Chains A and B, each alone.
Chain A
């Protein structure tokens, strides 16, 4: 295979994800409504209850809406990553996954193309959300939007690869939905998405320690710093390493020799 074949292949996978994204308008709308509800309703209610001190990357006192916006961008990536992986389980049940897996391209390459496509689509949704959030007083510096793009891709890759790995472990759609509830909500609530970690530490040291082990915390912090045109090196490193681990696990999960899929398939 020559290099142009790989480019054609990547374009094909990206276009397919885009076509599906455009066709599934309800999915796009629900992906926006969810964080907007948090921003408009939840944040309004909690604004008075939660005082936010000056913490990096913010240089002054901020409103609660401003604080939770990166976390809500994170939840867009988290939900989209998981939902796209859910579509892998659907594809597997419906049979269209076979078309992908019987391609002559290396399977790792195919899965990475899929993950990048998912991350790019998540990034589009995140920017649309930020545009709406701007009208609710969330006004980061313009250059922050540019800084954000690589952070969105990295965090999107990490969360999509986690979803892809989980999808390789489950046999049926019903199981996947159950597992997602045990992944999405703990990841979201046990992170710095909704409240600063020092607040969590004040409340409960154990929960704080769990938050420190949660890779989603670092994804949110990477996004938060990037949105204000700075880099959180610790978050960058942890998100980078976690992405590599999850991608490796997802690729192994879809390998017929090492993965569970082959072992779990049924006779016929």
Chain B
């Protein structure tokens, strides 16, 4: 996708993250500057996500898991505190870090176990935009460790 088209789509979807939307979702927006969306999900154990949206939405979102307190990438051991399900605590083959194992996430679709499940299957579905995918991660986090 042309970078200008990708940025336009990113900007349109990030514009949905209004103050009221963030209040309901209990997210703190840190950096919304293409291609990076940096936010913290409030939960019993808050989680910071740095989301690389380059080539969105031809490519799915690349999500890094960070500590909200110091901004460091979570280690595989620290990621275990997020619980299981979509949070995979092992090192991803490409990033070497724990990752989100869920459709819509680049680390999922590029993992050797899921390469057959192509992003194109989902990319135009309702609810698979940036706010929708982050909502899914937040829901899984709160189900695992509490709100």
User: Do A and B come from the same complex?
Assistant: no
